[in-house]
A = this chain, B = another copy of it.
Amino acid sequence: MYKDLPPSTAYRLLESGPILLVSTGNDEQHNVMTLGFHMMLQHEPPLVACVIGPWDHSFETLQETGECVLAVPTVDLAEVVTKIGNCSGVDVDKFAGFGLTAQRARTVAAPLIRECLANLECRVADASMVDRYSMFILEVTRIRIDDTRAERRLIHHAGDGRFIVDGDTVDMGRHMTRWRYLMDK
């Protein structure tokens, strides 16, 4: 079952540093790329910084449309994620080629990726660091999560195609005295 989460809870998905897919485009024409260089920048409004450069086919579309979707894949997609990061949308329709399903988003034209655990709809909030660092600042406008999905383990790129899979969880919430206000969201 799909469920909406408040955009302000983006940090629960992104701060942990999972490898991501990025979709750009619209219903008719879309592309997808793999993204490992990203971070939470601010809690509220929720801003995410990421590196997408002229070497990425998605770069031009992102600049033109100012919109994208950050999709959060799980471990069963590790091979697809790697292959997507090693070919170009110039040569391949990556949605079709890798069996991904484009679904309509609500706040942006770029499609959600149905096979992913979560999809974060984003608009470019600041492109002033693009020339210097290929860095886009995105604002998360909607989060859609697949709440009943069995496989929920994210993967973290340790470089060179090696992924670390989510293992145990350690809960230190009782020590979060300073950041308690975030937890009631």
Interface residues of A (CB under 8 A from B): 9, 11-13, 15-18, 36-42, 47, 49-51, 75, 78-79, 81-83, 85-87, 129, 133, 135, 137, 153-179, 182-183
Write 18 A-B pairs (CB below 8 A) sorted by A numbering: A16-B156, A16-B158, A37-B39, A39-B39, A41-B135, A42-B133, A78-B170, A81-B172, A82-B175, A83-B175, A129-B129, A158-B169, A160-B183, A162-B170, A163-B172, A164-B168, A164-B169, A166-B167
Given A153-B167, A155-B170, CB of A160 within 8 Å of CB of B12: yes
Copies of this chain, count: 2
A158 surroundings in chain B (CB, below 8 A):
12-13, 15-16, 169
Instruction: Please tell me if the beta carbons of B162 and A171 are within 8 angstroms of each other in the complex.
Output: yes
Instruction: Name the distance in Å between A156's Cβ and chain B's nearest Cβ.
Output: 4
Given A17-B156, A173-B162, CB of A41 within 8 Å of CB of B36: no
